[in-house]
Structure 1
Amino acid sequence: MKNILIKTVLACLLTTSILTSCSDEFLNEAPATLVPQNAAISTEADMLIALNGTYRALNTVVLSGSTITLYGRNVPLAGDLLADNVFVSERNSGRYIPFSNYTFNQSNADIGDIWSASYTLILRANNIINSSVSGGNAANINQYKGEAYAIRALAYFNLVRFFAKPYTDDPASPGVPIVTQYDPFLKPSRSTVAQVYTQIMNDLDQAYQLQTQYRGSAFMSKYAARAIAANVAMYKADYATALTYANDVITNSGFSLLNRAEVGAYWASGTPNSSSVKRETLFEVASNSVNNAGNDELVNIYHQQGYGDMLATPELYNSYSEEDIRKSLISNSSRVSGENPAYIVNKYQIPFGAGDISDKKVIRMSEVYLIAAESAYRTNSETTALARLNELASKRYSTFTFASTGSQLLEDIITERRKELAFEGNRFHDLNRLKREITRSSVYPATARTIPYPGSSSLPRYFPIPERELNVNPNI
């Protein structure tokens, strides 16, 4: 499969427009062994075209004629559905039921798609990182390479969290293959979890060093890379580094938190921030009326004008107080021939066909403050932890402030992380890094209401390597 992915990626990068889809017809243009690794990129303009195609792959890719999603839907949805934030409505289109029921296995198509699309994304980023460009603007070339490093790091961060044990459990356990060079004959073995995290942090450091421009929230930037690195460090339990990086973003990036009054309009908009706006979103995967996953966009699985299959759990809805503005992002409603009440997710409000489709947030300032709060607590600075938590609380509650100490302060931080980042794909990974049981209510199938940590063969806490990958790579 890697051979097919590599051929497909190289062919896609040779196209002259990021709007051109990539399908089987490109596989026969030239044998992969005759295509130089950097054939598609020889100028600054080539690099930008390739980079735009790489951003597109963050949302969707086309392999063998089929469109598959990463942030288009699969990645953010799985991160909530596998946990306790959302569930499949009794009136549904049949999508993602194995994730809700914990009946997924090596042949699950959505799992295979996350794997295949992630490595396609990595190979596109590799082609930019490894390219040799003569002439052009050196600052632009460094910027584009820095963005590619950040994208590759993000792809590996998702892969290692979905397909391996958390670092906090066993960093020496099998992770995922690290592929950084073009080799059509490569059949890589799995690197350890620790090795994958080292690769991620090295890539993010390169991204931080190389980037000097902010091109808007739909593109990686110096401080988006630093914020992601803070999150990665927290997932490693390297809390000192996580705190340092989070403070760097808070102090030096120029980005600010949303005010309480802005929350509704923020989530109602489908337009990324321009290069002149540094507000809340450090990086998001953008969709619009042309570049999108069609009916497979994340918004359509939540929106009642789409499939509307996914509902918020009653427990999550009830965790928001009346003075918490975030409660307005879930409607207490009902579904015809379905749940009553039905807690309908309103974070994604612009469905496919309605214009500039709702984008998918990857890293926001709110999360950076929560990373700083948790990391400060875990490095024995409760005063700082409480202050960071209340800085966010002042932007979400009308009057409430936290005064907790000790273990209750940590629980408050983790709970606020759940409430702030709900429906953005983080909850499952957080419960894994914390090595906590997933406790679900009666809205889930009886056989999948308690998912213990570290899990079991029948209730796994991470995905199996896809069967189609095992069939072609004996080294994995």
Structure 2
Amino acid sequence: MNILSKYKVIWLAVFVTTFVSCSKSFLELSPPTSVSPETALSTENDLLVATRGMYAGLRTGPSIGATSYAPDAFGRTIPVIGDVMADNGYQSSLNTNRYTLYNNYSFAVTDANALGLWTSLYSVILRANNIINAPIAASANVNQAKGEAYAVRALCYFTLVRYFARPYTDDPNKLGVPIITTYNADLKPERSKVADVYTLIVNDLNQAYTLMTIYTNSSQFSKYAAKGLQAKVYLTMGDMANAKTAALDVINNSGFNVVGAADNTAYWNNTSIRLDKMETLFEVSSDAVSNLSFDALAYLYSQAGNYGDFLVASDLYALFSANDVRRSLYPQGQRPAGTSVVFINKYTGLAGDRSDTKVLRMSEMYLIAAEASVATNETDARTYVNYITSRRNADPIASTGTALYEDIINERRKELAFEGDRYLDLQRLKRTVVRSTNYTVRNIAYTNYRRILPIPQTEVDANPNIKPQQNEGYQ
């Protein structure tokens, strides 16, 4: 089914399943013509219930009948491939064959994870669209819900366009992804230009920033989480002036704080959503009831879980100085017996209130401000990046020019490791993926067609307008 045909089946589930906090139970759906989105979302309470369903979709993706793409949203696939396709994490010789095709760059148009990522995020976009377009009188709560929906829609499109299209910094007039902002079950959309997708993203985040006035917790978008996402969007576009302005708005006005060295390990061991504005601007949450169980991110990485499939690349581990508190998140061990490796222990929640997936953190705002300052004010750049090194007991950065820029990129690599950012950084910088000897597939040029994902075959088969727009190399 294409993304709009699938909407006919799934959109009603948005509203019904959230009444039970989006638990894993399934239900018999009514025919899609039985009720319109406008009728289903007619009160403020309806809107708030739908908002919970929208956030649940970011974790799990849709599950319809016997077909499930549950791990393929932010709950696992998105953060995993952001490091596995790069140079941070490699597949252990003892593995469960998860993401092997991404570790080896051998995925094809029928790849299930690419399909799941595509379907999951367009399903969340549907949910966000229905909230945004709901004809409900404005109030503080309604404005907040709609602002959060704008931010979530922006996040989904930002993720889709970076994985299924060449970077904005390559050519903004190349094909991006289909833009859908209203419910139309019969629409078969073409791919929009990359520039148009980014215009929608920036405009959505401006709307989000204007509408939102309430801070609830780290599992929901807030005004400054939206501004933080916008800083990241501008950075990806190469718009350093606006990236710095947005990042500094968060740094100076949000009330969020960067976690310090003494609390860094405890921060990552904490599996609960945060109420204190400490570090986490936005995360996709799990709890004892609503989680991915054995498909969760922690299980894939942790040796205490069932899998422990991926390990820390040797060149990444070598970047951490002996006193750097982040190094303790990556303990040394043996897998298999007799083979010395470095484990990923950033996610420790394996039961009960599970580890949440960090999407935006305060530390990244300083790193964005630093990178955005290099060309115009190196003093500022060093000030912002060393705000982070000082809170990790890491060696301060004193370099200049090109070396300073590379030091900031390396600091991003260390700070955001295994949060899904590294590959997307290499994409926006149009750099070859240069991997250590831990990998079988070592160097992947920026021009390699598999540096972007294929439009899923099921989408191509169902949508004649997108069929001739398949990414190069996958036809």
**Partner residue, 2:180:** 179
CA contact (8 A) 1:8 1:22 kept: no
Are 1:442 and 2:444 an aligned pair?
no
- Alpha-carbon contact 1:153-1:203 (below 8 Å) kept: yes
Quick one: distance in 1 between partners of 2:122 and 2:41?
A: 19
Q: Deviations over 1:33-78 (max 9, x none)?
A: 4532322211111111100011100000333232423011010001
Other-structure match for 1:334:
334
Cα 1:50–1:22 change in 2 (3 A) is: farther
Map 1:333-352 onto structure 2 (within 5 A): 333-337=333-337, 340-351=339-350
- Please state whether the residue corresponding to 2:281 is helix, strand or coil: strand
For 2:236, the equivalent position in structure 1 comes to 235
Q: 1:200 is aligned with what amino acid?
A: I
1:369 maps to: 366
1:40-439 residue pairs with structure 2 within 5 A?
40-65=40-65, 66-69=68-71, 70-134=73-137, 138-274=139-275, 277-306=276-305, 307-337=307-337, 340-351=339-350, 354-378=351-375, 380-397=376-393, 400-439=395-434
Secondary structure (helix, strand or coil) at the match of 1:357 reads coil
Deviation, 1:163, is 0.3
Q: Contact 1:22–1:63 at 8 Å: present in 2 too?
A: no
SS of 1:282's equivalent?
strand
Long gaps (5+) in structure 1: none
**Separation in 2, partners of 1:285, 1:115:** 18
Contact 2:93 2:336 (8 Å CA) reproduced: no
Aligned-pair CA distance for 1:341: 1.1
Q: Tell me the TM-score normalised to structure 1 length.
A: 0.94
Question: Percent same amino acid among aligned pairs?
Answer: 47
Matched, 1:451 2:450: no
Give the distance between the partners of 2:157 and 2:342, measured in 1 at CA: 33
Q: CA deviation at 1:257?
A: 0.7
Tell me how far 1:85 sits from its aligned partner: 0.4
Q: Which amino acid aligns with 2:44?
A: E
Cα offset, 1:9, TM superposition: 2.0
Where 1:374 maps in the other structure, the secondary structure is helix
Q: Any idea what SS the aligned residue of 2:61 has?
A: strand
Contact 1:255 1:280 in 2 (8 A): yes
Letter in 2 for 1:236: M
CA-CA distance at 1:24 after TM superposition: 7.0
The RMSD of aligned alpha carbons is: 1.4
In 1, Cα distance between the equivalents of 2:387 and 2:22?
A: 41
2:14 alignment counterpart: 12
Change (3 A) 1:21 1:38: farther
1:83 shift after superposition? 0.4
Distance in structure 2 (CA, Å) of the matches to 1:454 and 1:168: 14
SS at 2:343's partner residue?
strand
1:86 alignment partner AA:
G
The CA deviation string for residues 198-222 of structure 1, in whole angstroms up to 9 with x for no partner, is 1111111111000001101111000
> Which amino acid is 2:465 matched to?
N
User: Structure 1 residues 67 and 174 mapped into 2: Cα distance closer, same or farther (>3 Å)?
Assistant: closer
The 2-side partners of 1:20 and 1:297 are apart by 15
Does the residue aligned with 1:363 lie in a helix, a strand or coil? strand
Letter in 1 for 2:421: N
1:14 aligned counterpart, secondary structure: helix
Aligned residues: 459
Give, in whole Å, the separation in 1 of the partners of 2:46 and 2:28: 21
| 1:302 shift after superposition | 0.3
> Quick check: 1:8–1:23 contact (8 Å CA) kept in 2?
no
Letter matched to residue 119 of structure 1: Y
Deviations 1:177-206 (A, max 9, x none): 001100010100000111101111111111
State the distance in 2 between where 1:439 and 1:20 align: 41
Aligned-partner Cα distance in 2 for 1:301–1:141:
38
For 1:20 and 1:393, the matched residues in 2 are separated by 40
Asked whether the 8 Å contact 1:168–1:433 carries over to 2, the reply is yes
User: Distance between the aligned counterparts of 2:92 and 2:24, measured in 1?
Assistant: 33
Output the CA distance in 1 between the equivalents of 2:156 and 2:297.
18
CA distance in 1, matches of 2:443, 2:397: 30
- Alignment correspondent of 2:469: none
Q: How far apart are 1:336 and its partner, in Å? A: 3.8
Displacement of 1:301 in angstroms is: 0.2
Using the TM superposition, give the Cα deviation of residue 14 of structure 1 relative to its aligned residue in structure 2, in angstroms.
Answer: 3.5
1:19 deviates by 2.7
Q: CA deviation at 1:392?
A: 1.0
* Contact 1:270 1:356 (C-alpha < 8 Å) held by counterparts: yes
